[in-house]
Amino acid sequence: MIGTNLKKNDNVVVITGSDKGRRGKILFIDVKKGRVVVEGVNKKKKFVRPSQENPKGGAISLEFPIDISNVALFCEKCKKGVRIGMQIKDDSKIRVCKKCGKNMDK
C-alpha cells in the first residue's frame, strides 16, 4: 500500500511518459497498486462486442491508469506541478505548495 497526498478531483500534471506536460483531474485513485486515472491522459481504445448498451459494438476510448509517481499536483499560483507539504492549522492538517505556500485544500 502506497501513501499519497493526492485526492480525487485534484488538478495534476503528468511529469514523465508519453503524456508529459498534460494536465487533468484525478478520476480514481488505487492506493494498493499505486495508480491513478487522470481525465484525458493515457487514453487507449478498447474494442467491445455488441451488447444492449452498445448494439453496434466497436471501439471505445478509455482512460487507463498511470503510476502515481508520474503525476504532480498543479499549483495555480506557480503555474506548474509542485511538491506538497503538510501544515497544521487550528488542529487540522492542510496541504500547501512547497514553493509558494498556497493552500491546496481550497
All domains in the chain, ordered by first residue = 11-49+57-97 (2.30.30.30)
pLDDT tens, position by position, 41-95:
999 999 999 999 989 999 999 999 999 999 999 999 999 999 999 999 889 999 9
pLDDT tens, position by position, 14-43:
999 999 999 999 999 999 999 999 999 999
Burial class (CB in 10 A: 0-12, 13-18, 19+), 72: middle
For the chain, helix (H) and strand (E) counts, in that order, are 0, 10
Burial class (CB in 10 A: 0-12, 13-18, 19+), 51: exposed
